[in-house]
Structures are given as structure tokens and as C-alpha cells.
Amino acid sequence: MKNFLLVLTCWLGLVSAWAQTPAVEQWKRFETSWRGPTAGNPFTDVWLKATFTNGRKSVKVKGFYDGNGLYKVRFMPTEPGSWTFVTESNVKALQKKSGQFTCKAPTNENHGPVRVRDTYYFQYSDGKPYHPFGTTAYAWTHQPQALEEQTLTALKNSGFNKIRMCVFPKFYAHVINEPPFYPYERKGTKNDFSRFNPAFFEHLEKRVDDLAALGIEADLIIFHPYDKGHWGFDSMGTENDLRYIEYLTARLSSFQNVWWSLANEFDYIKTKTRGVWDTYSKAVVANDPYRHLCSIHNGSVYYDYWKPEFTHVSIQNGSVIEEAGRAVLLRDVYNKPVVYDEVCYEGNVPQRWGQLSGEEMTHAFWQGIMAGTYITHGETYMDPNQVIFWAKGGPLKGTSPARIAFLRKLVEAAPRPYELADPWKDHQTAVADSSHYLIYLGKSIQPEWEFSLPKKSGPAAGKSFQVELIDTWDMTITPLSETFVIDKPEAYRIFDTKRKKIRLPLKPYLALRITEIAAK
């Protein structure tokens, strides 16, 4: 009877604990807060840390001051089950605070943070492949609310699943408006770099969550050169820069869809040397217990992307994606995923970096995908109200986004990521596996195409294949009635046993998807 009562008590205790314990989905955000001191400067005087554990794994996160006497800790659980935590602090009110929560299985479109996969590619934490088809709206979170909502609508209706965006507001041609929120407390036009403005970060966080709801990764640009003394966020000095990194990562590391981009055009920020960037990269990594994807983006000069802080390469180069033979070269150098995060933009501004046609922008995406790399979109159409997507967001006006979305579907339908099948010789033929090829004819207009694949890791003789004609501009996929039978290899190529050819429409931007017909 005594034992029975003990068991019953325990059981009731568990039920009660269960009922009281908050529940958070795996890779979603647990947040808790306490009241603490408001005197002095809470941003610099107080530190707060919490250690979360599920018994097997222990993760230390930094808390942050959220204003109004409130101190917060956020945490992204990476394993389901019961988690507990306890705090440390230099002030009594925040010491030894403890609690627990339950991490539930992820639901619906919650696949966790994106990670590197197979050297050159990406996948979500649950193993679902992720192919970045990104766009760019550097200052979209620094606009009036209605415009920000327009941006979200445009993104929702596009195929983009990543966006490059600056934490700090941007002061540059076509974007000279003051932002609704400033990152620091201000007196007139003077920032107090020792006091953050929590409302600024709350707003940013809301927008990052808005993107998450649309399945879009937020490639957050921590520093950028588009300030030029207007606000001074590009020249705050090392101490303030590092405090900013610590605050930003404490607030946003627990957001599953965050990527860190140390800078846009780092080499155009003349106040920081390479040594400083190394320090900042290390600081971001040290302060992000989840090790989100992290890179740095260049102007004219590349960064040292082989350094271990960088999970992938984020390069600006407008010429590299004119053909897959160029795009593929940097994969071999870095042995990391290569994202060409600026390859000129579709639009009609006077600057040549913003003058691509929709065809050229789409072509760039195709060349990148063939090469096993990724491209980021941007749009710079002149606008009477100065609402240019690349800067402020708003509606998308260009012709490439629909074609990019079409390509994304093709890529996601392939059994594996594409890459050039014979990268030193054939820059038109990408392979997923030996049962699935994609040939992109690009600008070449030719009346026919002879069935031909690289011998390298190619299909065995006797296998049958079907071909679909893809019009990358009209976004049509037309299965051809002919089937093709693989002959024995001849030198470095594989042909159909009857050397069959396909008639092609006399148009540019065609592709062929070539897939094995499963034996019956």
C-alpha cells in the first residue's frame, strides 16, 4: 500500500509537471524572461547566461536585455524530449533561475536549420534537401509597414526561399529614407552605441519569423558599407561592433531560418581590416551555439573562404555565371557550397550591375545549377516612387522570378542535386545520377540534338531513356515520344544505338531532361 501510494504520488507529480511544462517544437524557439536591474546601463553592466540540457547534450546560450527591466533567454532545442535549464549572471536577480520545457516533434513545414550536405549542397536538419533560390532586398525591413507587407506578399507568390537582407538600414542611391526603427538609442542624430533599441530588434525578429512562415531563409547581413557617415553603423569601432555581434546573436541565434553573412561587400567597408573580419567571424561562431550557416560577401576582392568559420562561399562576381564552365571552377577550389550571391541584377538602372534582362538573369540561374552551384536573384527596375526590390522590397516586376521558380521545381524533382557530369569537357550536361541528366543549351540555337551523354559514370549499355524538351523561358515540359537505347561507350561519350537525333525548335534557352525508363 505504501509502495502504491508512492507510485501514485510520482505519477500525479509527473502529470502535474507535464501540464505545467511548456512545449516547443524541435528547432522552434523556447523563450523565458525575468525582471532584473534597470539602473545604470543594463546592456553593458549585466550579463546573463543559461545552460540547457536534456541529459545527453548541454548547450550554453547568452541572454540579453530586452528593455523595460526584462532580461530574456532564448533557446532552439535540437532534440525532442525533456530539457531543463539554469542561469548564471553577475546580478543576483538573474542567478540560478531554472526551469524546464518539453521539445515536441516538428510538424508541417518545420524541417530545422539548413546545413551543408555532401560538400557542395545543403539540406534541412531533418534531411530534406534544400536548394537556395535566393533574392535580395537589402533594406526591406527598414521601410513603412505597408511596403514591408507588400514585400512579404511578393515573396509568398515567388519561388524564392532565401533572402539577403541587412540588419542595419541602408543609405545609398534609391534608398535614402530614414528607417522606422534605429538599432541604438539616439539623441537627435547621435547614436548611443552602448544602448540598443529593443524595438528595432523585435521588429527585425518579427520579419525573420514572417519569412520562416513562408519557408524563406533569412541571410542576415551583419555589416555593410552603405552608410558613409550617415548613421555611422559601418564605423562604430571594434568594441561596439563586438557588442553588437553579441547582442544580435543572443537574440537571433535561436531563429531556425537565420544565416549569418558577416558583411555585404566587406572590402568596401574601409574601416575594417581582414584581421578585424577574422575576429568578427570567430565572434559570430562562438556566440551561435547552433552553428547556423555563415559566410561573408565580397565587393571586388574575395575573402578567405577556406577558413573554418565559413560554412559556404558567398561570392559576388558578375561574370562567373555567364557559363557553367566558369561557375564550376570555384567549387573545386573551396570544397564548400558556392552561392554566387550577387551576379548583377535584372533591371534598368544606369549602372551596368543592374541591367540584366530577365533572360540573362534566368540564364545565370541555369548556368549556376548546371555547375552544382547556386545563384541569388536581385531586381533593379527604375521606379517613379523609388521602390526598387533590390533595396526596399515591394512588388517584383521582373520576368525572371517566374522562370527561377520553374527551375527550382525541376531541381527539387531530381533524385539528387545536379552537377556537371564531365566538368572539364562538357559544360552543357548536368547529372543527378546515372538515370537522370539535364542538358541546358543556353543561348545556342540548333536545329537538332544527337542523343549523347558523357561516358564518365554514365548508364550501362542497353538501358532505355526518355527525353523531355524543356523551354526554360515559356516554362513548358514536353515529353518526346521517341525512346533511346544506350550503346557501348565510344571514346568519352555514350550515344543511342541508332544514333538517334531530336529535332529542336529554333529558340534559345532550351533544356533537355533525360531520364531512364525503368525496366518492366
Binding residues vs a second copy (CB under 8 A): 301-302, 304, 306, 317-320, 322-323, 325-326, 329-330, 332-333, 352, 423-425, 427, 491-492
The least distance separating a second copy from the CB of residue 118, rounded to whole angstroms, comes to 15
Q: Which is nearer to a second copy, 17 or 301 (CB)?
A: 301
Secondary structure of the chain: what % helix, strand, coil (to 5)?
A: 25, 30, 40
The Cα–Cα gap between 125 and 344 comes to: 31
Q: Which is nearer to a second copy, 261 or 317 (CB)?
A: 317
Place of cell 552537377: 419
Q: Which is nearer to a second copy, 149 or 332 (CB)?
A: 332
Mapped to the 3 state alphabet, what secondary structure does 127-166 carry? CCEECCCEEECCCHHHCCHHHHHHHHHHHHCCCCCEEEEE
Q: Which is nearer to a second copy, 302 or 473 (CB)?
A: 302
Q: Angle, nearest 10°, between helix axes 274-287 and 238-252?
A: 30
The Cα–Cα gap between 230 and 197 comes to: 18
| Residue 259: half-sphere exposure toward Cβ, Cα within 13 Å | 30
Q: Which is nearer to a second copy, 28 or 331 (CB)?
A: 331
Q: Which is nearer to a second copy, 205 or 323 (CB)?
A: 323
The least distance separating a second copy from the CB of residue 440, rounded to whole angstroms, comes to 16
The least distance separating a second copy from the CB of residue 418, rounded to whole angstroms, comes to 18
The Cα–Cα gap between 232 and 191 comes to: 8
Query: How do strand 81-89 and strand 98-104 relate by DSSP bridges?
Result: antiparallel
The Cα–Cα gap between 221 and 259 comes to: 9
The Cα–Cα gap between 144 and 148 comes to: 6
3-state SS, residue 368? helix
The least distance separating a second copy from the CB of residue 519, rounded to whole angstroms, comes to 32
The least distance separating a second copy from the CB of residue 424, rounded to whole angstroms, comes to 4
The least distance separating a second copy from the CB of residue 302, rounded to whole angstroms, comes to 5
Q: Which is nearer to a second copy, 387 or 453 (CB)?
A: 453
The least distance separating a second copy from the CB of residue 330, rounded to whole angstroms, comes to 7
Task: Count CB-CB contacts under 10 A for residue 511.
Answer: 21
